[in-house]
């Protein structure tokens, strides 16, 4: 998180305001655990790092507070995990993503499915190089590919309403998912090495019910291991 982060987003989105850029950078830092849950946020220090005034910082933190990513007592801190929030997100995710997979199985073109498969191959490739890849690079790459794959799957459902609903939960959802990526359980890399490819194989069969089932199985794996990570038997 530095001045280059601002410049990069300005290049990618020339019309994005400095307020929104600051918000986006802080959101990424929180979702990617570069600012861990419970950490205090030093407004002056972050503003200095980014080379901005405190006004965009105040806007960004106020928006993040409204969305539940930070909370304020005498100063701002990153919100911790909530079992209630996780339960709600998990249930919504099972409904939305399995529905998206079913629609994608019948709506997506061969070209679109190949684009999804390319993301799955990239996941397979990085997981085959676990031992030779620095841990931070490995975690960031897997998290990015996991995010891109699931977002692409929702887009392939060709449902603007579904996309709008998913847009509202995607960052909170991936905050929980990324926690497990940074704290992988035993056998995690072996599973995700092929799981996205299996999903692509099933989508190519154009069987709606089968596609929904395979996505639910995929999500169940994450849920089971997330609960183990937090020593919770059931929600």
234 falls within a domain: no
Are both 72 and 146 inside the same structural domain?
Answer: no
Q: What is the CA radius of gyration of the chain?
A: 19
Region of residue 206 (phi > 0: left; psi between -120 and 50: alpha; otherwise: beta): left
Query: For 44-59, what is the mean pLDDT?
Result: 92
Are both 145 and 219 inside the same structural domain?
Answer: yes
Q: Dig out the tokens for 80 from the structure.
A: 């911790």
Q: Per mean pLDDT, which range of 2-6, 110-114, 145-149 is the poorest? A: 2-6
pLDDT band of residue 230 (cuts 50, 70, 90) is: low
Cα separation, 162 vs 160, in Å, equals: 5
pLDDT at 1 over 80: no
Last residue of a domain, one of 58, 78, 98: 78
What CATH number does residue 99 fall under?
Answer: 1.20.120.530
Are both 142 and 40 inside the same structural domain?
Answer: no
Query: Structural domain tally of the chain?
Result: 2
pLDDT at 147 over 80: yes
Last residue of a domain, one of 78, 101, 136: 78
Map residue 37 onto helix, strand or coil: coil
Boundaries of domain holding 141: 83-229
Last residue of a domain, one of 78, 113, 131: 78
What CATH number does residue 18 fall under?
Answer: 1.10.10.10
**Span 175-184, pLDDT tens digits:** 888 888 888 8
């Amino acid at each position: 998180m530095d001045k280059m982060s601002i410049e990069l987003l300005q290049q990618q989105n020339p019309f994005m305001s400095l307020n929104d850029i600051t918000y986006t950078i802080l959101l990424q830092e929180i979702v990617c655990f570069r600012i861990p849950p419970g950490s205090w946020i030093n407004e002056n220090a972050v503003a200095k790092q980014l080379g901005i005034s405190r006004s965009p910082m105040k806007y960004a933190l106020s928006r993040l507070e409204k969305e539940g990513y930070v909370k304020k007592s005498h100063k701002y801190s990153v919100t911790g995990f909530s079992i209630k929030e996780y339960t709600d997100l998990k249930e919504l995710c099972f409904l939305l993503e399995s529905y998206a997979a079913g629609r994608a199985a019948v709506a997506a073109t061969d070209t679109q499915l190949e684009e999804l498969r390319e993301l799955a191959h990239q996941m397979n490739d990085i997981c085959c190089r676990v031992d030779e890849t620095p841990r931070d690079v490995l975690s960031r790459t897997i998290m990015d590919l996991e995010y891109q794959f699931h977002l692409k799957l929702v887009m392939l459902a060709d449902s603007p309403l579904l996309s709008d609903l998913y847009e509202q939960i995607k960052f909170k959802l991936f905050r929980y998912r990324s926690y497990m990526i940074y704290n992988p359980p035993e056998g995690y890399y072996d599973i995700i090495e092929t799981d996205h490819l299996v999903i692509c194989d099933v989508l190519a069969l154009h069987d709606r019910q089968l596609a929904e089932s395979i996505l639910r199985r995929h999500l169940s794996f994450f849920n089971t291991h997330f609960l183990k990570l937090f020593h919770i038997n059931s929600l």
